Amino acid sequence: MKLKNALSVLALVCSLVFTSCNKLDEPTLAIPQEIAYTLVAVADSGVSGTATFTKEENGSSHVLIELNNSNTTTNPAFINFNSASEGGDVAITLTACECSVSNTTITQFDNGETIAYEGLVTLNGHITILDETGHIVAVADIGSNSN
């Protein structure tokens, strides 16, 4: 009788061990609700700053850009595909920086395709800030390109 009980307990333990772990137990990477990227000066422009991406309650993204040492009242701003070193087409046109600040709510790419916060912060992209002549004065790699 003891042998039968011992075998039953052993079978129960083995079944628990082999069924307790599965692929669903693997941890997922948490995406923070806010990410800040440092804008660095290009070609001795002296313009730098921060771009902060914040997740809104509805899943959209808010992008706040704050520039330092900008000598113009308006600086166009864009999110481009690829890294800053590669360059790339414009993905999203941001609100121009007026008096060194830009606020943009993002729900889609310029082509109309929707993008949620999680897609934006993992995008293969970079931010470009231009001066009044269209020259790039500051950049920041974002998403999958950021370190």
pLDDT digits (tens, 9 = 90+) for 6-57: 445 445 445 544 555 454 555 656 677 999 999 999 999 999 999 999 999 9
The percentage of residues in the chain with a pLDDT greater than 70, rounded to a whole number, is 80
User: Average pLDDT in the 71-88 region?
Assistant: 93
Contacts of 125 (CB under 8 A, 6+ apart): 79, 80, 81, 82, 88, 91, 141, 142, 143, 145
Is 16 contained in some domain? no
Q: Is residue 9 part of a domain?
A: no
- What CATH number should be reported for the domain holding residue 72? 2.60.40.200
Asked whether residue 3 carries a pLDDT value surpassing 90, the answer given is: no
Whether 98 is in a domain gets the answer: yes
In a domain, 7, yes or no: no
pTM over 0.75: yes
Q: How many folded domains does the chain comprise?
A: 1
Q: Work out the angle at residue 105's Cα, subtended by the Cα atoms of residues 103 and 110, and round it to the nearest 5 degrees.
A: 110
Which residues, including other chains, have CB under 8 Å from residue 132's CB and lie 6 or more apart? 72, 74, 75
Distance from C-alpha of 73 to C-alpha of 87, rounded to nearest angstrom: 25
Would the pLDDT of 2 be above 60? no
Tell whether 3 is covered by a domain. Answer: no
> Does residue 17 sit within a domain?
no
Mean pLDDT of the chain: 86
Segments forming the whole domain that contains residue 79: 34-143
Q: Is 40 within the bounds of a domain?
A: yes
Average pLDDT over residues 65-83: 93
Q: Show the tokens assigned to 77.
A: 């701003």
